[in-house]
Amino acid sequence: MNLQPLHSQGPSLSRIVTGVWRWQQLSSESVERLIKTSIDEGITSFDHADIYGDHRCEELFGAVLKNQSALRSQMQLITKCGIKFSSAKRPQTWIKHYDTSEDHITWSAENSLKMLATDHLDLLLIHRPDPLLNPHEVAEAFVKLKAAGKVLHFGVSNFTPSQFEMLQQFLPFPLVTNQIEISLSRIDSLFNGDLDLMIKHGASPMAWSPLGGGKLHFEERDWFAKATKYNASYSQLALAWLLKHPSNIFPILGTTKPERISEAAKSTDIVLDKQDWFEMLKWSTGRDVA
């Protein structure tokens, strides 16, 4: 799987990304195996957040990199910041809230560097739109982190088009993605302007929960017929359905099983016929397009 640009100004990522949200219960050996299987399959980009696994996932991943530092040059690291919740690791936080202040973004990015045992992040995202977001502060943090070489590119997650465009207005470089939920069971972004906005800005969307978190419930006989036609598994078809969209969706796979990473990697070889694509859309909506 070749790297593909998320935006013309970078970064280049593997078209399928491995997400670590569900890795908190795994042993260090399992984490190492998932990392190495991903890389062997050409899935070299990894999606983190400071909060995953109650702030443990970055550290688990970083422990593998600490022991095998050569792995770092073979991968691209994405992480997020801006959500705070009450936790033994964050005793001063007593209510779940967002913090996109300059100080917190800077502190969080630097802490992620430490946890991940790396000197730079390829991409940092604001995790959720913050009603108290001050774009001047976000811009200050982003510009300083970029100038210091600590973060190469920036983006957002779960932003509406107007939130994306508002923040972009204050930045001297492009937001390269909006990471949103997209799958056969979550199709609103195809029709509500989210994906149009990405095309307009030359940025590619990243899709979280691309397999609906493992809960894509459609008629067994429909899946079976399609799987037979393409000689593909259900999850490969669900990913190929996302990959066909002209906005260049980068799906983030959430499995904890190496064999499912290998299976997903093959989805980039499947090119769905237009009518099959629309039939799968119909599974989701329950009706033909108008």
Nearest distance, CB of residue 257 and ligand NAP, angstroms: 4
Residue whose CB is nearest to ligand NAP in the complex, by number: 254
Of 16 and 272, the one with the shorter C-beta distance to ligand NAP is 16
Which range, of 15-23, 92-100, 133-141, 277-285, touches ligand NAP by CB under 6 A? 15-23
Is 19 a residue that touches ligand NAP (CB under 6 A)?
yes
Stretch touching ligand NAP by CB under 6 A, among 26-34, 92-100, 254-262, 278-286? 254-262
If one asks whether residue 253 binds ligand NAP (CB under 6 A), the answer comes out as yes
Q: How many residues bind ligand NAP (CB under 6 A)?
A: 23
Lookup result for tokens 């990304």: 17
Residue number with CB closer to ligand NAP (31 or 252):
252
Work out whether 157 is an interface residue with ligand NAP (CB under 6 A): yes
Strands 17-19 and 45-47: parallel
Instruction: Judge if the upstream peptide bond of residue 11 is cis by omega within 30 degrees of 0.
Output: yes
Q: For the segment 210-239, give every residue that binds ligand NAP (CB under 6 A).
A: 210-214, 235
Nearer to ligand NAP by C-beta: 111 or 140? Answer: 111
Question: How near is the Cβ of 145 to ligand NAP at its closest, in Å?
Answer: 19
Token pair of 171 as six digits: 């930045």
Report in angstroms how near the CB of residue 227 gets to ligand NAP at its nearest.
Answer: 12
Q: 28-40 vs 57-67: helix axis angle to the nearest 10?
A: 70
Whether 52 is a known active-site residue: answer yes
Between CA 49 and CA 132 the distance in angstroms is 20
Q: Judged by CB under 6 A, does residue 267 bind ligand NAP?
A: no
Of residues 189 and 209, the one with the C-beta less far from ligand NAP = 209
Residue 149 half-sphere exposure, CB side, CA atoms within 13 Å? 2
Query: Which residue in the list 52, 98, 230, 234 is annotated as catalytic?
Result: 52
Enumerate residues 42-61 that contact ligand NAP by CB under 6 A: 47
Q: How many CA atoms lie within 13 A of 263 on its CB side?
A: 17
Which of these segments, 113-121, 137-145, 247-255, 276-284, binds ligand NAP (CB under 6 A)?
247-255
Of the candidate spans 88-96, 109-117, 195-203, 255-263, the one that interacts with ligand NAP by CB under 6 A turns out to be 255-263
Answer for the pair 203, 6: CB distance below 8 angstroms, yes or no: yes
Closest of 195, 197, 204, 208 to residue 177, by C-alpha: 204
User: Closer CB to ligand NAP, residue 235 or residue 248?
Assistant: 235
Work out how close the CB of 92 gets to ligand NAP at its nearest, in angstroms, rounded to a whole number.
23
Site of interaction with ligand NAP (CB under 6 A): 19-22, 47, 157-158, 179, 208-214, 235, 252-257, 260
- Which residues are tagged catalytic? 52
